[in-house]
C-alpha cells in the first residue's frame, strides 16, 4: 500500500494557506474560470443590453441561468450547483433593477440610482436609524462614475487618520512610545492635559502678584524691595509659561491641521450630490448603457469571486485537517510508543517490580 506525505517545503500548518493560494495550478484553474466568464459575458451581455427593447425579463433570466452553467461548469473548479448559485445570487440581488431597466431604459435606471443616493443623504437621523445602514459613498454608481472623487475622500480620510495618530502619540509622550517598542504596557497618561493643567496653575499663581506690582508702582512711596521680589517671582513663572507654550505649540499645530482636515472632508462629502448630478448630466444614452452594463458585470464578478474564494477556503481547510491528523507518521508514533514503554519498564525495575 502506498503512503503519501506532505512535501518538504511545508514544515508547519501556517504555511498551507499561502502555499495553496500561490500554487501555479490553482491560479491557472481560477484564471481559466474568469477567462471563460469573460467570453460568456461578451456574448450574453448583448441580450441584457437589448432588455429595454425586448422587455423579456424572464426569458433573459432563463438564458443567463442555462448558458452560465453550460459555460462555466466544464472548467471543473465549481460544481453545477455552485455555478448556478453564482448567477442565482446575482440575479436575486439585481432583480428589481433589471425590471427597472426593462421599463425605464439605461438612463432611467441611472436616474433612479441618483435619486436613491439623494434620498439617503436627505434623510434625518431618525430615518437613517430605522433603515439598514446605507453609505452613499459605497454605492456602485459613485464608484464607477466618480473614482477621482472617491480618491479625494480616501486621501482626506487617510490624512485625518495620520493626524489623529500624531495627536495621540503626542498626548501619550515619549515614555509610552518607549514602552510600546519594548512590548510593555504603560499607564494611561495625557501629557497635554498635564501641561495645560500646569499652565493654568502658573497663570493663576501670578495674577495677584501682577495686580499688587501694578498698585505698588503707582504709589508715590513704593517699596523697592517688594517690587523687586514680585518682579523676580513673576518673571520666573512667565519663563515657565513660555516653556510650556513652546512644548504645546507642535500639538496646537496638529490639532489645527486635524480640524482643517475634518472640515475639508465634510466639504467633500457635502459636494457628493452636486458632483454626482453634474456627472450624470454629462452622460449620453450610449454612455449610460455602457455604465450600467459595466456595473452589472462588476456585480456578477464579485459574486463569482465570492464562490471561488469559498471553494479555495474549503480546499485549504481540508488540507489543514489532513495536517492535523497525519502530520505525525506511523513510524514516529511507534518510535514514541517504544521510547515510552522503555522508560516505563526502567521505572518499574527501579521500584523492584521487574
Which of 93-107, 203-217, 229-243, 320-334 is predicted least confidently? 320-334
**pLDDT the model gives residue 342:** 74
Asked if residue 34 belongs to a domain, the reply is yes
Do both 211 and 296 map to the same domain?
no
Q: Which of 70, 4, 59 is nearest to 37 (CA)?
A: 70
- With beta carbons less than 8 A apart as the criterion, state whether 230 and 216 touch: yes
Q: Is the pLDDT of residue 100 over 90?
A: yes
**pLDDT the model gives residue 2:** 59
Asked if residue 2 belongs to a domain, the reply is no
Cell readout for 237 is 513663572
Do both 27 and 126 map to the same domain?
yes
User: In percent, how much of the chain has pLDDT > 90?
Assistant: 62
Q: Which residues in 214-224 are b (16+ Cβ under 10 Å) and which e?
A: eeeeeeeeeee
Do both 265 and 292 map to the same domain?
no
Sign of CA dihedral 130, 133, 135, 139: negative
For every residue of 111-126, DSSP letters joined together read: HHHHHHHHHHHH--HH
- Vertex 150: Cα angle to 147 and 156 (nearest 5): 145
Do both 155 and 213 map to the same domain?
yes
Do both 260 and 306 map to the same domain?
no
Asked if residue 166 belongs to a domain, the reply is yes
Mean pLDDT estimate for the chain: 87
- In the structure, what pLDDT confidence band is assigned to residue 125 with cuts at 50, 70 and 90? low
Do both 218 and 246 map to the same domain?
yes
Do both 116 and 20 map to the same domain?
yes
Do both 20 and 128 map to the same domain?
yes
Asked if residue 39 belongs to a domain, the reply is yes
Whole-prediction pTM: 0.73
How many structural domains comprise the chain?
A: 2
Cell readout for 224 is 523697592
What 3-state class would DSSP assign to 10? coil
Do both 232 and 158 map to the same domain?
yes
Q: Which domain holds residue 218?
A: 147-270
For every residue of 195-243, DSSP letters joined together read: HHHHHHHHHHHTHHHHHHHHHHHHSSS--HHHHHHHHHHHHHHHHHHHH
The model's pLDDT over 64-73, given as tens digits with 9 standing for 90+, comes to: 999 999 999 9
Do both 191 and 226 map to the same domain?
yes
Quote the CA–CA distance of 192 and 288 in Å, as a whole number. Answer: 54
Q: Which residues in 89-98 are b (16+ Cβ under 10 Å) and which e?
A: bbbeebeebb
Amino acid at each position: 500500500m502506498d503512503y503519501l506525505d506532505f512535501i518538504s517545503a511545508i514544515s508547519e500548518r501556517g504555511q498551507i494557506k499561502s502555499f495553496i493560494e500561490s500554487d501555479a495550478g490553482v491560479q491557472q484553474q481560477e484564471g481559466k474560470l474568469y477567462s471563460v466568464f469573460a467570453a460568456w459575458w461578451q456574448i450574453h451581455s448583448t441580450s441584457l443590453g437589448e432588455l429595454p427593447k425586448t422587455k423579456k425579463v424572464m426569458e433573459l433570466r432563463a438564458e443567463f441561468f442555462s448558458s452560465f452553467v453550460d459555460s462555466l461548469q466544464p472548467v471543473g473548479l465549481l460544481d453545477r450547483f455552485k455555478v448556478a448559485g453564482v448567477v442565482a445570487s446575482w440575479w436575486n440581488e439585481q432583480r428589481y433593477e433589471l425590471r427597472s431597466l426593462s421599463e425605464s431604459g439605461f438612463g432611467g435606471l441611472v436616474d433612479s440610482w441618483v435619486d436613491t443616493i439623494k434620498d439617503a443623504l436627505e434623510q434625518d437621523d431618525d430615518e437613517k436609524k430605522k433603515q439598514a445602514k446605507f453609505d452613499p459613498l459605497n454605492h456602485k454608481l459613485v464608484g464607477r462614475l466618480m473614482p477621482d472623487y472617491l480618491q479625494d475622500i480616501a486621501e482626506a480620510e487617510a490624512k485625518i487618520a495620520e493626524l489623529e495618530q500624531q495627536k495621540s502619540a503626542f498626548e501619550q509622550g515619549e515614555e509610552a512610545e518607549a514602552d510600546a517598542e519594548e512590548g510593555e504596557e504603560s499607564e494611561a497618561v495625557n501629557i497635554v492635559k498635564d501641561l495645560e493643567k500646569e499652565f493654568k496653575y502658573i497663570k493663576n499663581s501670578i495674577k495677584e502678584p501682577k495686580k499688587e506690582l501694578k498698585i505698588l508702582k503707582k504709589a508715590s512711596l513704593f517699596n523697592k524691595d517688594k517690587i523687586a521680589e514680585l518682579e523676580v517671582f513673576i518673571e520666573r513663572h512667565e519663563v515657565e509659561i513660555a516653556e510650556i507654550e513652546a512644548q504645546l505649540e507642535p500639538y496646537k499645530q496638529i490639532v489645527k491641521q486635524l480640524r482643517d482636515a475634518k472640515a475639508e472632508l465634510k466639504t467633500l462629502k457635502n459636494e457628493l450630490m452636486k458632483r454626482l448630478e453634474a456627472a450624470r448630466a454629462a452622460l449620453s444614452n450610449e454612455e449610460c448603457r455602457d455604465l450600467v452594463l459595466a456595473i452589472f458585470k462588476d456585480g456578477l464578478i464579485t459574486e463569482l469571486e465570492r464562490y471561488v474564494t469559498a471553494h479555495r477556503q474549503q480546499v485549504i481547510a481540508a488540507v489543514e485537517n489532513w495536517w492535523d491528523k497525519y502530520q505525525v507518521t506511523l513510524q514516529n508514533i511507534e518510535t514514541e510508543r517504544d521510547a515510552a514503554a522503555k522508560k516505563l519498564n526502567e521505572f518499574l525495575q527501579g521500584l523492584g517490580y521487574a
